[in-house]
Chains A and B, each alone.
Chain A
Amino acid sequence: MARKTFAAAALVGVALVALPAAGQGLRYAEDLAPAIVNPLFTTTMSEARVNELLFSGLYTDDQDLATSPALVAYASLADDQLSMELSLKPDLRWHDGQPVTADDVVFTIEAMRDDDTLSTEAGRVSWIDEATAVDSGTVRLTFTTPQATPEDKLYFKILPRHAFDSTTVSRSDAFRTNPVGSGPYRLARFNDDNSISFTPHSTFDGGVGISELVMREVSDKNYQAKLLLYESLEALVRVLPRDLAVLQNNRKVELYPYQTNSWWYVGFNLERAPFDDVRVRSALSMLIDVDALLAPVGTGEVLSGPFVKSSPFYNHDVPYDGYDPGEASRLLQEAGFDNSSGAWMRDGEALTFTLNAHQTLESSQEVVINLQSQLQNHGVEVSVDFLDEAAWKSRVWRERDFDAILSQWSFDRNEDVREQLHSDGLRNFGGYESERVDELLDTARDASDPFAKKAALRELHAVVAQDQPMIFLWTLDSYAALSTRVSDVVIHPFYFFTFVNQWRMN
């Protein structure tokens, strides 16, 4: 009792001077605040989530993840599948009260295609040949090739024509600080602490449940969970695996699965010796105890190929090779290396490489240090370099200037690995080339029979596991966390806020 009185007295001055905080809307955390609020220039998931709050597309997912109309009332597809007419819902309004019209749809498509706009989303409309406004509420689209289900590709966000001078939109356009959308929320203000406040769009179709949303920048992921427990936040988009148990036991928080079909890997630069030798790559993979690497990071599953284990494309006949230093030694010797000095050497040069990791990849420091330690115990010298976003984009994406990288890929439910593994893939950083893999990816892309696609990608798993362009590590369990004060929550598995207008605050 005395202790409690003392403690209360110690803080009573603080508590009395500072008035209790008033009730607030929903506050959610992002690692980095969005730099720009304009769907034409989205590059990060943080920006994509804000777009989901502010803007609407012609179509969207419903709660059963089926394509459903958003701005569209009804549509008709021509028999030859080369055109369609879309009728917009009547009485739709932008945040500034102006009506949403067919001209806005046409403008958006033209702006995305305008070369001078330099939009990062230009590829999303490359299949549309022409867009015309038949009348104020009707748009006609013609396509470059027949489209069986064009509505599946009409999710991109629509922009207001009246907010821009022309279809050439600049990143520095005033729209970025005063965006006008037709989504459930409007941007109220950018705050001094890098947070952003949103208020409901008064005429949003279907209404909006929560009176205010605030995006807070909390760059320390370890601290995000703490803030949720302190009730200084109401939502975390992704919870660190090690925080799951703590949050689960807290009755003021509920966890929602937010699996993003993601897997970690160590990727080699196949254009550099000795990584151009599959024996060296295989040997290195066998010198790594992946289970031991995973243990401090969180719960997950070790993988043998480029899909998560629950994927229909995962080939369960391809085992994870496992930790096998004996076999690794044999392979290295076969590749001309010698370990008589305690370190693997070939032609007087040590087997050594630099491992690059992205600074913001959660738990990457632990993994890298443990991995370095494991390999050094087996006579392979590894130096480590953590790169920030710009350096990563430059060294890995653009220049391909690395020995090996530690990173993670996240996929939507289609799990399309073409960009990562096709010889023409834009995200094939390591320069992996396999004629058979290219064929299988083409087969998968063109398949109209799910059995055919499944068979092709399972064979791809086997081929890639054999070629070992990368060491596949694991997939982690991924969850979002929300306060129990938020009800009627449905989370979109990729965009998170698609159904936010239905959420309620108690």
Chain B
Amino acid sequence: MVFALALVACENAAEDTVEELGPLDRTWVATIARSPARFTDAIADDRAGWVMVHNHDLVRLEGNGSTAGRRGAAARAALHDDLARIEAEAWQRLGKRWEARSGLPEGSALPFFVGLAAWDAGDQETARGWLHRASGADDDDIRGAALALAGTPPGNAPSPDGNFWLQRVQAHIDGRGNGDAGDLGDGASSPVLREHADGHERLFHDPMAHRTLATAHRAAAGTVEGLAAVLFSPCPALDDQGACDAASVWQPLGLSLEAGDADEAEAARSWVRALDAKLDPWAKRLHDEVSDEGRELLLQLRLVPGFRAQVLLDRARQALRAGHPRQAQAYAQLALDLEHPREVSPVNAPGLYAALAEANLRTGHTREALDALQVLTDLLPTVAGVDELVGDLAVLEGLDRQGDSKEN
């Protein structure tokens, strides 16, 4: 009898009215759920490619010139931008920490790479400081390149004059100009310098590689219009001119588009709760109202969870750009599908792990950043260099601490 009682259906608490949730009906999720034919038309040119877009299978999309391929290229560009930011931050932290702890290793190319990373990130002042420290490097080309770059504004290539490193910088700038990374991306997966020290090697990867890869993929992405531009994206809807129109969907629902002034994780959590309070009843209603085919789309493609994750990823990136890593951390953590937390999936986009890694790095959780980067390393070989760099930083930060371990 008690089980029968337990099975008594519960009435939901007071629901939002149809009118209040109306803006959500403008989203691409609602559009294709209500009109599956439009979805079929949108993906008709490359169905297999769109499956890859949905699954965030960015590697297999490479070189695909269809609309789906271009969407994949745009996602790759965004991911490489994320990785470039992570790398720049990690280089600075590594250099500062190492110098503060025990002074920079004598004759090492380390300050050159730290300086080059800052230079390529556009921070000339920081770059100059590090590049001057590289004047003590053992390698002639390193010293020469450091001297030349210290006097060159970021983005401009000093004359190589046979200097290996300046030639490489020149190649990056050329590649960014013509949208072709060539084999410069290898510098992200394999070390460009192996420096011999007392019985071990220091491996340095190319700090410029990810920005070049981002530019190349952005060139390949071009412009996509119409429904194909927003499918599986955080952009909820398009305006009449075909531009992303997030304001008309979120603002009527009381959801701010701004990052806020303070880096408060709780603000991000409140935002997500407010989003879920709208999305949950709307998704249920949508599920009840659409046709069988639309329902199939909703369930099989996990449209609502995937959309939610993309929206939160977008918020995370916005927070990072605004210098709010704790907010970004909260958004990314709440976006993650914990049924498969270590897998890229329709819900867990690669960018989500990059956002988690960057947020953790910027909040001092270097070791936790590696958990996120590990997922990306399995996906893309070019992440290896960033992973090694952040790993070096994590090891450096722990050198003076007493370790602790517990059973169970």
Contact = CB atoms under 8 A, between A and B. Distances in A.
A–B interface present (Cβ within 8 A): yes
Contact of A484 (B1, B198, B273, B391): B273
16 contacts: A4-B8, A7-B4, A7-B5, A10-B5, A64-B365, A244-B341, A255-B333, A257-B371, A408-B408, A409-B405, A450-B396, A451-B200, A451-B201, A484-B273, A487-B266, A487-B270
The 5 closest A-B pairs by CB, nearest first: A416-B403, A312-B391, A64-B364, A414-B403, A310-B374
Contacts of A7: 4-5, 8
Interface string B147-162: 0000000000000000
Given A408-B408, A410-B408, A411-B404, A479 B370 contact: no
Nearest to A358: B408
Interface in A129-165: 148-149, 152-153
Nearest to B199: A452
B402 interface: yes
B197 A452 contact: yes
A309 B375 CA distance: 10
B255 to A, nearest CB: 16
Contact of A311 (B280, B340, B370, B392): B370
A419 B5 contact: no
How big is chain B's contact interface, by range? 35 or more
Contacts of B392: 312, 450-451, 454
Contacts of B339: 244-245, 248, 299
B2 to A, nearest CB: 9
A449 B402 CA distance: 17
Contacts of B398: 413-414
Contact of B338 (A248, A358, A447, A488): A248
Interface of A: 3-4, 7, 10-11, 45, 62-66, 124, 148-149, 152-153, 244-245, 248, 251, 254-257, 259, 261, 299-301, 309-313, 358, 360-361, 407-420, 427, 447-456, 477, 479, 484, 487-490, 493-494
Interface of B: 1, 4-5, 8-9, 101-102, 105, 197-203, 264-266, 269-270, 273, 276-277, 280, 326, 333-334, 337-342, 363-368, 370-371, 373-374, 388, 391-396, 398-408
A206 to B, nearest CB: 16
Contacts of B395: 312-313, 450, 453-454
A245 B363 contact: no
Given A310-B374, A312-B391, A410-B408, 5 more contacts: A312-B395, A409-B405, A413-B394, A449-B105, A488-B265
A452 B200 contact: yes
A487 B266 CA distance: 6
Nearest to B277: A251
Given A255-B338, A412-B405, A493 B365 contact: yes
Contact of A149 (B8, B400, B408): B400
Q: Name the residue among A66, A254, A419 with the largest chain B CB count within 10 angstroms.
A: A254
